[in-house]
Amino acid sequence: MGVAEEKYGCRSYVSVLEEGLTYIEKRMTGEIKSLKTPWPGFNEAGVGGLEWGSMLTIGARPGAGKTMIASQIIREAHRLNPDQKFNIVEFQFEMGAKQYAARQFAAEVAEDYGVILSTKKALDNFIYERAKQYIQETKFLFSKGINRDMFPLSLNHKEMEDAIKIKYMDGGRKPMIVTIDHSWLIKKTTSEKDKFEVLYDVTEMLMRLKNEIPITVIMVTQLNRSMDDSSRKTPGSIANYPTSSDIFGGDALMQGSDMVVALSRPFKSDIRSYGPYAYEVNKEDVFMHLLKVRNGDEQKSIVFLKMDGKNQRMVEVPEFTATRPDGTYLRYSQRTGSNGTRTVPAPIGSELD
């Protein structure tokens, strides 16, 4: 081995191709699969889901469901991927353990958060026993070597890297889903000057780490407050749609992520006619905008979701109804290309007969 190889990790092109072919073969035989998520449209946009060794960033304003999305992915991960063995590590910096657990119980027993916490009346014994059963089910998974761990204290990027490596070794070197909720709350090191430098450092660390060990990273972050400007709330405007510049720390996260999605819940911003196609929106409607898809279907730009607060989950639904400026419906063919994929949005009226 030469000095360059030893010092900088240089590899021959042949060895890179051979490693790639081995990966292709393992995908071909089913030895390696992507991680399926609860939303077929999102899986289709990716590589049959999330590739191991990839990073997904989820951005949204408060109340749009970003934590719910991340939580649903990991809560349903083993059910949707029964033939894969993996562990889960959560960096849950935003929510206390008691509150986070109460949300998990609410989702598991299909009751509202307020019901679980006896807001109006004492929790029914049957529901309480079901929550206890969920703990036993989780203990059973743990006994089978399927771990799910949570770090509730804010850590810096160096501490996070160390924690991930320790959990990877302690968990039997299985693949891991790593969630970070959320980016703003990652602790600074003494040398970091601001939150943007923190994000560059943590993104660089995750990019390096996901090439060393089989992890899939789910990063939760905020959208900038500019999304709340009155200019972004004009009904039926392209300005309603979030863009990469709206992602907090967008440059770092866009560069380091394989997929970037932004969630929008227009009703919460008092927008009833959303985007250039004037989608009619209700309280539960959530738009998942695919801002970056590195290795998947770049033609798909929106996944349409309904928020099911009672079950703490998002449900994928068919495309929402879109209308003309005069209130009449747009034909589906007017909003899509000839092959059924979404076209680049144009101003309202530009595609009308």
pLDDT for 276: 92
Distances (CA, A) of 122 to 117, 125, 126, 135, 168: 8, 9, 12, 20, 41
pLDDT digits (tens, 9 = 90+) for 279-312: 999 999 999 999 999 887 767 899 999 999 878 8
Domains parsed from the chain with CATH numbers: 34-334 (3.40.50.300)
Q: Which of 311, 234, 304 is nearest to 269 (CA)?
A: 234
pLDDT for 112: 84
Check: CB of residue 296 under 8 Å from CB of residue 45. yes
Check: CB of residue 277 under 8 Å from CB of residue 297. no
Neighbours of 242 (CB within 10 A): 24
3-state class (DSSP) for residue 50? strand
Which phi and psi angles does 57 have, rounded to 5°?
-110, 130
pLDDT for 350: 38
Check: CB of residue 348 under 8 Å from CB of residue 276. yes
d(CA 230, CA 248): 19
User: What is the gyration radius of the CA atoms in the chain, in angstroms?
Assistant: 22
What single DSSP character describes residue 212? Answer: T
Task: Mention every residue, 6+ apart, whose C-beta is less than 8 A from residue 256.
Answer: 55, 203, 204, 206, 207
Q: Which of 248, 319, 258 is nearest to 291 (CA)?
A: 258
Low-confidence ranges of the chain (pLDDT < 50): 331-353
pLDDT for 293: 93
Neighbours of 32 (CB within 10 A): 18
pTM: 0.85
Q: How far apart are the first and last CA of the chain?
A: 67
d(CA 268, CA 278): 16
3-state class (DSSP) for residue 64? coil
Calculate the CA dihedral of residues 166, 171, 176, 180 and round it to 10 degrees: -50
pLDDT for 106: 86
pLDDT digits (tens, 9 = 90+) for 251-290: 888 889 999 999 999 999 999 999 999 999 999 999 999 9
Check: CB of residue 254 under 8 Å from CB of residue 243. no
Question: Residue 268 burial by CB count (10 A; 0-12/13-18/19+): exposed, middle or buried?
Answer: middle
Q: Which of 337, 305, 235, 352 is nearest to 40 (CA)?
A: 305
